[in-house]
Amino acid sequence: MSRFFSEKYSALEVYTPGEQPKDMQYVKLNTNESPFPPSPKAREYAAKAAENLQLYCDPTCAKLTESFAEVYGIGTDEVLFTNGSDDALNFAFMAFCDDDHPAAFADITYGFYPVFAALNRIPFTEIPLKEDFTINADDYIGINKTVFIANPNAPTGIALPLCEIERILLSNPDNVVIVDEAYVDFGAQSAVSLIRQYNNLLVTQTFSKSRSLAGGRLGMAIANKKLIQDLNTIKYSTNPYNVNSMTQAAGIGTLTDEAYTQKNCKTIIENRAYLTAQLEKLGFVHTDSLTNFVFAKHPSFDGKKLYGSLKERGVLVRHFTKERIKDYNRITVGTKAQIDILLKNIQEILEESI
């Protein structure tokens, strides 16, 4: 730290992104990326946009917004595109939290929430998940805080039914409830249909997972137009050009090819069933995931050791050190071929330990 670094950030504990190692070719099942390339349309549109990179991108993302609004059946003023959904989440912390509106989220959830809260100097409460890692909606009833719920949750993969989200929304009319739907396209119910019913609902989604654009950084916030206006106030006070022109074009390309996204999601859901069934045969227990990852532990094999042994063998999964979940690993659902390599290695590691 330099002697110039502002004291207000000196104690900041930064978010640790999943490893992106370059030392060898890994079977990469650690950061919940799609194993499939972006749609050919996305690549074609992005390449065309690259021809005009001397110009600033459209800060309003007008064409992308129109395409999205049409596909999702919402108004163009009910969505805001951002640099990944992380950007939208940060905006939401900035716009809707302060000393009078502290944040509340689960103790086991997306690790960026406490970092965004600390960055923006927002007090926050971490609400323990139940023993089985499900959210107890009762804990959020009338909580009178700005609520962040990843639905499905990460890294557990467990989804909260929409009726429980509605109970939380109804009981906190003076606070915004942010539903982070980064993984919603793999089988869970989206709250987007409720944005006109609840003026305190803000949904975030991403093109990083189901639409294979993690490297493009495209996310969005979806809500009634007043909440979107508030986020725009933050955006235009920080970086109006937060979504570059190639990414805007790639997003439009993706939206013209919804069949491709749906086909990939269907494959991931099938592969998830295959992976969980095979892990069960190897003695693992896992949560009931509705995402593109599986959260699993072996009753007699240390989680961190399994992560390390797999890495040595060229297979990357994600291990978290937090006490409650340190026995688990989060495994991204890859292609069938990737899953078979993972399973073969796990089997060998388990056999060697006997």
Q: Which of 61, 95, 154, 184 binds ligand PMP (CB under 6 A)?
A: 154
Q: Does 110 bind ligand PMP (CB under 6 A)?
A: yes
Sequence letter at residue 304: K
- Least separation in angstroms between CB 34 and ligand PMP: 11
Residue 86 vs 185, nearer CB to ligand PMP: 86
219-258 residues near ligand PMP, rule: CB under 6 A: 219
* Residue 38 vs residues 21, 167, 279: alpha-carbon distances, Å: 21, 37, 29
Q: Name the maximum alpha-carbon separation found in the chain.
A: 62
Q: Which of 214, 269, 343, 350 binds ligand PMP (CB under 6 A)?
A: 214
* Residue 292 vs residues 103, 198, 199, 275, 336: alpha-carbon distances, Å: 27, 28, 30, 11, 13
Q: Which residue has the tokens 């459209």?
A: 58
Strands 27-28 and 315-316: parallel
Residue 157 vs 303, nearer CB to ligand PMP: 157
**Interface characters, 75-94, with ligand PMP (x: CB under 6 A):** ---------xxx--------
Residue with the shortest CB distance to ligand PMP: 84
- Least separation in angstroms between CB 218 and ligand PMP: 7
Q: Does 150 bind ligand PMP (CB under 6 A)?
A: yes
49-78 residues near ligand PMP, rule: CB under 6 A: none
Q: Is the peptide bond before 38 cis (omega within 30 degrees of 0)?
A: no
Q: Does 216 bind ligand PMP (CB under 6 A)?
A: no
Residue 14 vs 337, nearer CB to ligand PMP: 14
Residue 219 vs 251, nearer CB to ligand PMP: 219
- Alpha carbon distance 106, 309 (integer Å): 30
**Interface characters, 191-210, with ligand PMP (x: CB under 6 A):** ---------------x-x--
DSSP 185: G
Q: What is the CA radius of gyration of the chain?
A: 20
Q: Does 182 bind ligand PMP (CB under 6 A)?
A: yes
- Alpha carbon distance 74, 62 (integer Å): 14
- Alpha carbon distance 117, 121 (integer Å): 6
Residue 26 vs 105, nearer CB to ligand PMP: 105
**Interface characters, 161-180, with ligand PMP (x: CB under 6 A):** -------------------x
- Least separation in angstroms between CB 286 and ligand PMP: 18
Residue 92 vs 249, nearer CB to ligand PMP: 92
Q: Does 30 bind ligand PMP (CB under 6 A)?
A: no
- Alpha carbon distance 263, 332 (integer Å): 18
Helices (H), the chain: 40-50, 62-72, 84-96, 112-119, 162-171, 225-238, 245-255, 258-281, 303-312, 336-353
Q: Which residues bind ligand PMP (CB under 6 A)?
A: 84-86, 110, 150, 154, 180, 182, 206, 208, 214, 219
